């Protein structure tokens, strides 16, 4: 990936694009030569970015007594095991919780109960606690560390359409930080694709309210 081209694109995006809010910076990678009906061609993984991703991740813990105090302190929200039944009976309440969270962290020892209470809502939304993201934890986990890691974690997925789009910073991020995150994401995507660079059609960068600019 051409660093000079990236820098020029970011510079162009910064010009005359000031809004009343801080815009996110997104990386879009269009894919080719993939048959997404074949499971082996579907790609999904999580990445911890080297630099700030420019947006806070909102995290909810689904835990039992061992982690109750930590969850209340370290997470944005938490649901104790004794309250799972409330959510299991009230799909609307579960949907509301799901839509307000980016990640769900679950205690490994009660995972079957988490699946029973939340699976039917979180599953289709792709928000079930995922071990690949470090979201299934033991009863002695340090939830503050888990929370901090998730603040730098992004999900890359191409299961239904041949493209991946993810946040890589915001307009307040330095050019250097954006470029480091973009190159890190790109290299990892290439590594996860069945045919590597031969599965990459094009790459674009955009701000929330701008048109994408092609960088590859």
pLDDT, tens digit, 9 for 90 and up, residues 181-214: 999 999 999 999 999 999 999 999 999 999 999 9
Q: Which domain holds residue 87?
A: 59-150
- What is the structure's pLDDT at 187? 97
Give Cβ neighbours of residue 85 (< 8 Å, ≥ 6 apart): 117
pLDDT, tens digit, 9 for 90 and up, residues 125-175: 999 999 999 999 999 999 999 999 999 999 999 999 999 999 999 999 999
152 and 52 Cβ atoms separated by less than 8 Å: yes
Give Cβ neighbours of residue 8 (< 8 Å, ≥ 6 apart): none
Q: Does residue 92 share a domain with residue 136?
A: yes
DSSP assigned state of 36: T
Q: State the CATH number of the domain containing residue 157.
A: 3.30.190.20
Q: Does residue 145 share a domain with residue 69?
A: yes
The helix/strand/coil state of 99 is: helix
- What is the structure's pLDDT at 10? 95
- What is the structure's pLDDT at 216? 94
Q: Is 72 exposed, middle or buried (0-12, 13-18, 19+ CB in 10 A)?
A: middle
Query: Which one of 104, 127, 150 terminates a domain?
Result: 150
Q: Is the pLDDT of residue 84 over 80?
A: yes
Q: Does residue 114 share a domain with residue 72?
A: yes
- What is the structure's pLDDT at 5? 94
**112 band by pLDDT with thresholds 50, 70 and 90:** very high
**73 band by pLDDT with thresholds 50, 70 and 90:** very high
Q: Does residue 170 share a domain with residue 145?
A: no
Percent of the chain whose pLDDT exceeds 70: 100
Determine the Cα–Cα distance for residues 100 and 118; give it in Å rounded to an integer: 14
Q: Is the pLDDT of residue 80 over 90?
A: yes
Average pLDDT of the chain is 95
* pTM for this model (two decimals): 0.89
Q: Where are the beta strands (DSSP E) in 73-117?
A: 77-80, 103-107
Q: Does residue 121 share a domain with residue 134?
A: yes
Query: Which one of 104, 125, 150 terminates a domain?
Result: 150
User: Can you read off the two tokens belonging to residue 152?
Assistant: 């730098």
- What is the structure's pLDDT at 20? 86
pLDDT, tens digit, 9 for 90 and up, residues 6-57: 999 999 999 867 788 999 999 999 999 999 999 999 999 999 999 999 999 9
Q: Total structural domains in the chain?
A: 2
- What is the structure's pLDDT at 41? 93
Q: Does residue 142 share a domain with residue 67?
A: yes
Query: Which one of 150, 175, 204 terminates a domain?
Result: 150
Q: Does residue 138 share a domain with residue 74?
A: yes
- What is the structure's pLDDT at 1? 81
Q: State the CATH number of the domain containing residue 133.
A: 3.40.50.790
Q: Does residue 80 share a domain with residue 10?
A: no
Residue 202: what are its φ and ψ, rounded to 5°? -165, 160
Q: Does residue 146 share a domain with residue 67?
A: yes
């Amino acid at each position: 990936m051409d660093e000079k081209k990236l820098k020029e694109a970011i510079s162009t995006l910064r010009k005359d694009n000031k809004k009343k809010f801080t815009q996110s910076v997104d990386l879009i990678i269009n894919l080719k030569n993939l048959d997404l009906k074949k499971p082996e061609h579907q790609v999904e993984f999580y990445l911890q970015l080297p630099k700030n991703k420019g947006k806070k991740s909102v995290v909810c813990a689904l835990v039992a007594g061992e982690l109750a105090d930590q969850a209340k302190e370290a997470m944005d929200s938490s649901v104790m095991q004794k309250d799972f039944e409330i959510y299991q009976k009230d799909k609307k309440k579960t949907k509301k919780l799901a839509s307000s969270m980016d990640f769900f962290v679950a205690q490994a020892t009660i995972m079957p109960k988490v699946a029973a209470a939340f699976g039917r809502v979180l599953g289709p939304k792709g928000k079930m606690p995922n071990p690949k993201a470090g979201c299934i934890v033991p009863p002695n986990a340090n939830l503050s560390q888990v929370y901090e890691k998730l603040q730098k974690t992004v999900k890359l997925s191409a299961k239904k359409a041949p493209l991946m789009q993810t946040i890589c910073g915001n307009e307040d991020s330095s050019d250097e930080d954006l470029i480091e995150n973009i190159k890190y994401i790109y290299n990892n995507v290439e590594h996860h694709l069945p045919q590597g660079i031969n599965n990459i059609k094009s790459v674009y960068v955009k701000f929330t309210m701008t048109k994408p600019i092609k960088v590859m």
